[in-house]
């Protein structure tokens, strides 16, 4: 369970988050959408403790997280750009993560799923962008955490890997987890999301299902509904 109340954050004159209120009580897949600069990344980083808000509160499982750190053991985070140490080999990176995270599981199954066997002995700097993203997915889903945060997880993936990622996410939902996703791929969001939060200029302009958004905007599909929100946010 995540409960965010009156969250505010400024960077100089820029109000990145303007009194954000979001409550997620049940397991499921939740997409945080919005254009660049809307506040998505700031919100995610506040949940992770990487950005300290100016005001408001964030509670996970009824515990205030601001100023805390142990709660992060319950989160598995996939960054949009994973800056892995370039001289490490893939198997060394996996071993490093294993050394300081608990709840490691399904490593061999994930390696096989994304056909990474031939990459294990390669240095990170020698991998293609798509293979780095598969390693990023592996490192995220090998941690058995109740909250999974995925920042633009589809970047660089081929259609087969994308299909496998979708199934992974759906399987984690079945296990009773909360999955937060940011993505610019409306097809991906449409395929897996139970609920969406649409941010614009640090404010929430919509929270609900894709069906409810299409009804609100009177648009036939998600992509056109998002365009409608962007062009007429107060309509």
Under 8 Å between Cβ of 139 and 97: yes
- On the 0-12 / 13-18 / 19+ scale of CB atoms within 10 A, 162 is middle
Q: What is the mean pLDDT of residues 153-178?
A: 94
The pLDDT of residue 234: 64
- What average pLDDT does the chain have? 92
Distance from C-alpha of 235 to C-alpha of 229, rounded to nearest angstrom:
8
How many Cβ atoms are within 10 Å of 104's Cβ, its own excluded? 13
Distance from C-alpha of 119 to C-alpha of 93, rounded to nearest angstrom:
12
Distance from C-alpha of 231 to C-alpha of 235, rounded to nearest angstrom:
9
Distance from C-alpha of 16 to C-alpha of 165, rounded to nearest angstrom:
30
The pLDDT of residue 141: 96
Q: Where are the beta strands (DSSP E) in the chain?
A: 2-11, 14-24, 28-33, 55-60, 63-64, 75-78, 147-151, 178-182, 195-200, 203-208
The pLDDT of residue 233: 66
Distance from C-alpha of 9 to C-alpha of 16, rounded to nearest angstrom:
6
| Interval 199-225: pLDDT, tens | 988 999 899 999 999 999 999 999 999
pTM: 0.93
| Interval 100-146: pLDDT, tens | 898 899 999 999 999 999 999 999 999 999 999 999 999 999 999 99
Distance from C-alpha of 78 to C-alpha of 83, rounded to nearest angstrom:
11
147 confidence band (pLDDT: 50, 70, 90)? very high
182 confidence band (pLDDT: 50, 70, 90)? very high
CATH architecture of 2-231: 3-Layer(aba) Sandwich (3.40)
Q: What is the mean pLDDT of residues 177-188?
A: 92
Under 8 Å between Cβ of 205 and 21: no
Bigger pLDDT: 26 vs 6: 6
């Amino acid at each position: 369970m995540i409960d965010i109340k009156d969250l505010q954050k400024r960077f100089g004159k820029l109000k990145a988050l303007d009194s954000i209120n979001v409550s997620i009580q049940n397991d499921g897949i939740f997409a945080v959408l919005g254009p660049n600069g809307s506040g998505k990344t700031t919100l995610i980083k506040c949940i992770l403790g990487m950005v300290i808000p100016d005001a408001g509160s964030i509670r996970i499982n009824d515990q205030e997280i601001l100023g805390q750190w142990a709660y992060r053991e319950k989160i598995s985070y996939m960054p949009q750009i994973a800056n892995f140490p370039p001289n490490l080999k893939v198997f060394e990176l996996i071993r490093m993560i294993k050394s300081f995270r608990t709840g490691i599981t399904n490593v061999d199954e994930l390696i096989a799923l994304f056909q990474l066997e031939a990459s294990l002995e390669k240095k990170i700097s020698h991998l293609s962008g798509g293979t780095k993203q598969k390693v990023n997915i592996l490192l995220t889903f090998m941690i058995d955490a109740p909250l999974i945060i995925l920042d633009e997880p589809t970047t660089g993936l081929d259609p087969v890997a994308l299909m496998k990622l979708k199934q992974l996410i759906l399987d984690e939902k079945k296990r009773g987890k909360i999955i937060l996703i940011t993505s610019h791929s409306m097809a991906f969001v449409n395929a897996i999301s139970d609920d969406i939060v649409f941010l614009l200029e640090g404010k929430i302009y919509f929270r609900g299902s894709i069906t409810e958004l299409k009804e609100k905007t009177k648009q036939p599909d998600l992509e056109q509904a998002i365009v409608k929100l962007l062009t007429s946010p107060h309509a």
